[in-house]
Structure 1
Amino acid sequence: MNISLNGQSLTIDQVHQVAHAKGGAVKLSIDAKAMDKMKASRAFVFDIVKKGAPVYGINTGFGALSSMHIAEKDLATLQVNLIRSHCTGVGKPFSREVTRAIMLLRANCLTSGFSGVEPSTVELLLDFLNNDITPVVPEKGSVGASGDLAPLSHIALALIGEGEVEFQGKIVNSDVAIKSLGKNPAVLGPKDGLALINGTACMAALGALAVFEARQIMKLADICATLTMDGVKGTDKAYNPKITMLKPHPGQIACMENLNKLVLGSKLKDSHPDCHKVQDPYSLRCVPQVHGACRQTLIHAEQVIGLELNAVTDNPLIFVESAEVISGGNFHGEALALVMDYLAMGVAEICNISERRIEKMMNPTFSELPAFLTRNSGLNSGLMIAHVTAAALVSENKYLCHPASVDSVPTSTDKEDHVSMGVTAGRKLHEVIENAKSVLAIELLCNTQALDLQRPERTSDALEAVYSLIRKTVPTIEDDRIFYKDMNNIIKVINSGEVVAAAESKLGALN
């Protein structure tokens, strides 16, 4: 697949594709019209240098040092010093996928033609992506304003041949990887260093990859809820469209439609018309309302992050047509930080209600199934502690959902006096998403076992397809065994997208 960047049309799906692409599966280039804009912007920068008047980011110091004018002979050194001094990240490196997404978003922003960057430097950044050269970028060090300076500096350091990269399965100096391409490290000129590091690429990359994952989690949660409903012989009466249309939030409507499609044709659902259970607990009865509200956080996140992918977040910005260089604050990540905190809460609530459904399957008083879903309880503990693990993850999510965006630590002698903490919000969001996969994997471990205990009755074709998929690697539980292996196997099929695909193979696309 070929993607030509122009700073205007990148999508969340494309970010995910590039982030996960291997072996040259995706080839990136710069759109011809975008290249013309970049060249014009670059020429304007050199015109400023020639005139000599101080312009921030081109021939001045940075941040609190912006009042200091830098001589023309020192401008290249200024940019290299900027990159070296800003490489202050700490902690473990971002994953290959996150780092690739960051590089893609920075390149896309620069192709807009408002940054004045040397086009060949951006082309080298795309060479890194096209040839699977991944800079080592520590996770911690950005406060989410003035751009993601520290993480982006580690990428820029790799471009000038002084950083570390993962290449061909090894960590090597970046100049080695660049030379293997038959190229030379980037030589920074006026504004190049600042253009490479001043933007929201790190935050936006975390957000875009999280949105892609959260889409799958919302569908998966609906699948889990209906499997559990049938596993405990609950009722779908609360999913009646008449109820939802009296409270027509878009997320609730989407969830309600999914639930009704998923249980359509279930013999198990229709096997207890005179059931003595008058009403199900909220964790089953209120799925449209709770899952629907969680979907609203995703809807908002998609809107904000989708816009940010093609935003120009450099500073200062160069407007060639009006012959202006204007300093502003598009590097500030407030919108991203807020929406990632919001989405984290939405995904965490998916976990909260899932854990309650798991508990209902453990409890014979409600489920009328053997305690902990094992026929020979006492001798066997069954899925008792699998539920405890879900409870632990749900509890962990609660502190991970403390919003990073409400914090701000002034930096740079109070010049940068309000920051977003957007990268922190994004990192926490990814932890909540990983926890969600584990909690939903535990629910699938439990509700497929509950279905076995309800045999010979069968659920719907869509849910039977999911059941059969799980049973390929997780056999019916007869006696206690090592359950973490089962949980990990289910997480693998969740990550592969096979669970959602199994249901959709019978229904068509879910909302």
Structure 2
Amino acid sequence: MPCLASSVDLGGTLTTRDIHAVATGACPVHIGEDARARMAASHATLTRMVEERRRIYGVTTGYGPLASHPVTPEHAHLLQRNLVYHLCSGVGKPLSPVHTRAMMAARASSLARGYSGVSAPLFDRLLECLNLGLVPVVPEMGTVGASGDLTPLAHVALTLMGEGEMWYDGTRLPASAALQAAGLAPITLGHKEGIALVNGTSCMTGIAAVNAERARRAAHLALRLSVLYAECLGGRLEAWDARFADARPHPGQKTAHAALQRWTAGSDRLVPHVQPPPRLDESQAVEGWLPEGECPQDPYTIRCVPQVIGAVLDVMRFHDETVTVELHSATDNPLVFADDDAILHGGNFYGQHVAFASDALQMAVVKLAIHAERCIARLTDRTQNHGLPAFLHGGPDGVNSGFMGAQVTASALVAELRTRAVPASIQSVPTNANNQDVVTMGTIAARKTADSLDLVFHVLAIHALALAQAAEQRGGTVLAGFSPGSRAVVRWIREQHEYLYQDRPLSPDIQQLSGNLERVDWDASLTH
């Protein structure tokens, strides 16, 4: 996506779209003077209290169940370094560079709130890595999301110390070599700087911020495809009348109705509604009974689009609001309140808000795939698709099966999504010698949602390819009668994937289109 600003101020007001832009490399980052002043005051307060040899968790004590052991300030470097070392225990494949950059941006935003006590050199190194394209290699598994995302953030901290591995210019290198190639030196962690880096919700929050933008695009794509689907089947406009949203004013449903009104404009393939309703035709009555006529309502895949996708939009709004608050939060422990000359020990690292929001978003995006799969099934079934070829095949009957295989793949993908949809946010497992006796699994929830979005876009890609085929079977290559918005969608697909004149392997088409669909802002692009 294009950057909405020349550079994102990670110490200012942020949106999930800002984090997505930073994560995907579309925007550089910086920090404003107000945030620098907040951090300097916090650092000065912490430094003074350490010099006064006060008891501060993780600064002059051990960690977790070992916090009862005091540690003198002279051992600060060893204390912070060993914290990072023992937490670097992650396993599994690396997080994607996008997710890792999102985590780094979210951590920088949290530190910039001015409650963490870190020094300017440490913070600047985090920004430099983002701007120079240095991406730590971070195993994806190992955090329970309770005392923050300790394990993945420790792997980030390790690379800033010149250990572990980083990607730089597309090459996976030892962190020391990557830093040297970029002209940077490893850092030495000062008082609280290890725990400030690792103790917080930034992994789950960064991934959730990326999920928010991906889900927004998927939902608005689903609205565009719903219009095209209704046009292919001669759907009725009546159920999409905006007055339904007046009668049931959920914000998401109102947004869905407005979008449907926008994208159906100019269509000659949708049945307009007439008020008052037509009178019964009693001319064929037999002994007072009337023969069967046409059904005055469409199936739910058309009729209930505002309610299905509207509800998804409302869940997205809840998720986005939750993650946005988290992006503006200090989430480590303890926190330094410089204005009050206070250091407080608490639990802002506990990621339950993001865990619940991520699980809710996963349910919502799975519903997008369920709706799309049912649309594909109806569109390819010659007993329900109003005269289109069976499975939308091209070429001679029998020897060409069209989208038969792709329709089965869509069904299989929905089954995959359903089996993965068990909430993570309630899977608490006590750990850390029962110090962490309830945990959130927030990062697992965010990762699961990210994985589900991958599959959702695969289903939407199959739906889009099938709809482009059906639209040309209805309206020819000129797409006669289709709305300008729908014609724009089909022509965009045709720039990349040709009409299925005869059977060919569709896996490359599906996977390529899935990635390309995700790169478009469907609420604002391809209007005509």
- TM-score tier, shorter chain, comes to over 0.9
Separation in 1, partners of 2:389, 2:85: 63
**1:296, distance to aligned residue in structure 2 (A):** 1.1
The answer as to whether partners of 2:355 and 2:446 remain within 8 angstroms in 1 is yes
Aligned-partner residue type, residue 13 of structure 1: R
Separation in 1, partners of 2:29, 2:475: 52
Counterpart in the other structure of 2:392: 373
The answer to which of 149-158 and 433-442 deviates more is 433-442
The answer as to whether partners of 1:148 and 1:201 remain within 8 angstroms in 2 is yes
Aligned-partner residue type, residue 370 of structure 1: P
Counterpart secondary structure, 2:167? strand
TM-score (norm 1): 0.94
Equivalent residue runs for 1:29-428 within 5 Å: 29-270=30-271, 276-368=294-386, 369-375=388-394, 376-428=396-448
1:475 alignment partner, one of 494, 498, 521: 498
The answer as to whether partners of 1:244 and 1:253 remain within 8 angstroms in 2 is yes
**1:380, distance to aligned residue in structure 2 (A):** 1.0
The answer as to whether partners of 1:408 and 1:420 remain within 8 angstroms in 2 is yes
Counterpart secondary structure, 1:367? coil
The answer to which of 34-43 and 323-332 deviates more is 34-43
The answer to which of 296-305 and 472-481 deviates more is 472-481
Separation in 1, partners of 2:521, 2:346: 45
In 2 relative to 1, CA 94–385 (structure 1 residues): closer, same or farther, beyond 3 Å? same
In 2 relative to 1, CA 252–33 (structure 1 residues): closer, same or farther, beyond 3 Å? closer
**1:225, distance to aligned residue in structure 2 (A):** 0.9
The answer as to whether partners of 1:474 and 1:489 remain within 8 angstroms in 2 is no
In 2 relative to 1, CA 370–183 (structure 1 residues): closer, same or farther, beyond 3 Å? closer
Aligned-partner residue type, residue 320 of structure 1: A
Query: Once the two structures are superposed, what CA deviation does each residue of 1:77-133 show, in whole Å capped at 9, x if it has no partner?
Result: 011000011001111111111111111111111122211112201111111111110
Counterpart in the other structure of 1:14: 18
Separation in 2, partners of 1:62, 1:178: 29
Query: Once the two structures are superposed, what CA deviation does each residue of 1:119-149 show, in whole Å capped at 9, x if it has no partner?
Result: 2011111111111100001111110111100
The answer as to whether partners of 1:373 and 1:382 remain within 8 angstroms in 2 is yes
Query: Once the two structures are superposed, what CA deviation does each residue of 1:144-187 show, in whole Å capped at 9, x if it has no partner?
Result: 11110000000000011112101122211212222334432111
Matched, 1:5 2:10: yes
Separation in 2, partners of 1:285, 1:424: 35
Unaligned 5+ segments in structure 2 are 1-5, 279-292
Matched, 1:493 2:512: no
Counterpart in the other structure of 2:285: none
The answer as to whether partners of 2:237 and 2:273 remain within 8 angstroms in 1 is no
**1:498, distance to aligned residue in structure 2 (A):** 6.6
Q: Matched residue pairs, number?
A: 501
Counterpart secondary structure, 1:166? strand
Separation in 2, partners of 1:392, 1:261: 33
Counterpart secondary structure, 1:325? strand
Unaligned 5+ segments in structure 1 are 507-511
Separation in 1, partners of 2:470, 2:74: 74
The answer as to whether partners of 2:234 and 2:271 remain within 8 angstroms in 1 is no
The answer as to whether partners of 2:392 and 2:466 remain within 8 angstroms in 1 is yes
Separation in 2, partners of 1:272, 1:299: 32
The answer as to whether partners of 1:466 and 1:499 remain within 8 angstroms in 2 is no
**1:55, distance to aligned residue in structure 2 (A):** 1.6
In 2 relative to 1, CA 188–502 (structure 1 residues): closer, same or farther, beyond 3 Å? closer
Matched, 1:450 2:470: yes
The answer to which of 254-263 and 385-394 deviates more is 254-263
**1:14, distance to aligned residue in structure 2 (A):** 1.4
The answer to which of 379-388 and 482-491 deviates more is 482-491
Query: Once the two structures are superposed, what CA deviation does each residue of 1:31-69 show, in whole Å capped at 9, x if it has no partner?
Result: 223222222222222222222232212100011111100
Counterpart in the other structure of 2:283: none
The answer to which of 291-300 and 367-376 deviates more is 367-376
Counterpart secondary structure, 2:402? coil
TM-score (norm 2): 0.91
Counterpart in the other structure of 2:485: 462
Please provide the CA RMSD for this pair: 1.9
Question: In proportion to residue count, which structure has more helix?
Answer: 1
**1:399, distance to aligned residue in structure 2 (A):** 2.0
Counterpart secondary structure, 2:209? helix
Separation in 1, partners of 2:272, 2:320: 40
**1:267, distance to aligned residue in structure 2 (A):** 1.7
**1:250, distance to aligned residue in structure 2 (A):** 1.1
In 2 relative to 1, CA 222–140 (structure 1 residues): closer, same or farther, beyond 3 Å? same
Counterpart secondary structure, 1:365? coil
**1:270, distance to aligned residue in structure 2 (A):** 4.6
Q: Percent identity?
A: 37
**1:27, distance to aligned residue in structure 2 (A):** 3.4
